[in-house]
Amino acid sequence: MKLHELMRIPEEYKKTALEEQQGTVVEAAYPVSNYINRSRELVTGQGIPSEEAGRKVIAGDRIVKKCNIYLPAGYCEKDSEVKYNVLYLLHGVGGSRSEWLNGNMDEEGWYVICNIFDNLIARGDLEPLLLVFPEGRSAWDWEDSSFNPEGTNMLGFYYLDYELRYDLIPFIETRYHTYSDIRKASPEELAYNRQHRGVAGLSMGGMQVLNLVLGGRRCDAERYAGTESPWNNGLAPTVKAPGMADLFAYAGAFSNAPTSSEGKLLGNALASSRYSLELLYLTCGDQDGVAYGEGFQRADTCLYDMAANNLGNYYKVIIKNGVHDFQVWNNGAFNFSRLCFGKGKECSGILHKAII
């Protein structure tokens, strides 16, 4: 894809596709063995050192979480020969696995995000893919959507990486027909797998992409972090996350939340990684009073320069007159997905800036 192909979503892509072109949304429950417990400890059986986690690490019982999954038209559970790319879409601070769906509906009561992907696939713009909508709080109280800086539900946002790596991605790739298979871990297989996974998020989910995929800092409540909040929201940065560039070649942050790490740190983390990101896509509305300055601009500053040769295509896309809403986030999903998995995509390995 070339820069001039970035665009606002044509209105027809937001409308319901023909019935035979429509995908379906299913809910799935899966076991989670990596999460924050009620004592703020990390439950895991993966041998993660407490120094990396920034807290006590213990063994514990599994919990069960849920996610929503979009299956494209034609997906057949019995046909294991046809494989699919996977895009993980993360929700915001007050949201859930349903935010991209229920918070984003058309006049007929159907999900706009599904209409967009139905039409992208039906019109030949995009290879058929699965969308996975996780619950972003990797904690025992993952269903608590309240904003409480001292809550374990809030802390869980900053530990989703372990759940993705050890619980959700393995579940998706053993249950559904995906190109990637996390059980295959030779250097060649790792390189292949990451080409077929993308991850993006809105607001708090955008922060998770930057801090947890690139390798920024986790956060905790001020009194547990031992420092004052630089954002005056009760949260303060703690230890660095190890990053997940080995799992994802494509990452997108849409109106990323203020607790996103600064660009210099994120770029340095990428530069020191064994894996390069093929695509990083940042977008925000220029009238977004929540994310534009503290989140989007702060994360962008120096990121590209510091990442050196470990960042291929970097897109910085500003939505003119955009605010903190689905007008921006739908545009992000539309353009980001075409750059990841579009048919005949072209990547030039440079910095791209656009206002649309």
Arithmetic mean of pLDDT, 273-277: 97
pTM for the model: 0.97
Residues 6+ apart with CB under 8 A from 313: 278, 279, 280, 339, 347, 348, 349, 350, 352
Residue 169 — very low, low, confident or very high, per pLDDT cuts 50/70/90? Answer: very high
Q: Residue 63 is which amino acid?
A: I
Residue 297 — very low, low, confident or very high, per pLDDT cuts 50/70/90? Answer: very high
Q: How far apart are CA 158 and CA 239, in angstroms?
A: 10
Average pLDDT, the chain: 96
Asked whether 98 and 54 are in contact (CB, 8 A), the reply is no
**Residue 193: its pLDDT value, please?**
99
Show the tokens assigned to 197: 């996974």
Say if residue 108's pLDDT is above 90: no
pLDDT tens digit sequence for 222-250: 999 999 999 999 999 999 999 999 999 99
Residues 6+ apart with CB under 8 A from 196: 85, 86, 178, 179, 180
Containing H/E element for 130?
strand 129-133
C-alpha dihedral sign at 123, 124, 130, 134: negative
Say if residue 281's pLDDT is above 50: yes
Say if residue 109's pLDDT is above 90: no
Say if residue 4's pLDDT is above 50: no
| Closest by CA position to 178, among listed 30, 73, 97, 75 | 75
Say if residue 301's pLDDT is above 60: yes
Q: How far apart are CA 168 and CA 176, in angstroms?
A: 12
Residue 350 — very low, low, confident or very high, per pLDDT cuts 50/70/90? Answer: confident
User: Helix axis angle, 326-341 relative to 112-122, nearest 10°?
Assistant: 30
Query: Pick the residue with more confidence: 280 or 109?
Result: 280
**Residue 348: its pLDDT value, please?**
60
Look up the CATH number of domain 3-355.
3.40.50.1820
Residue 3 — very low, low, confident or very high, per pLDDT cuts 50/70/90? Answer: very low
| Closest by CA position to 324, among listed 144, 142, 202 | 202
Q: How far apart are CA 299 and CA 269, in angstroms?
A: 13
The full set of domain ranges for the chain reads 3-355
pLDDT tens digit sequence for 27-40: 999 999 999 999 99
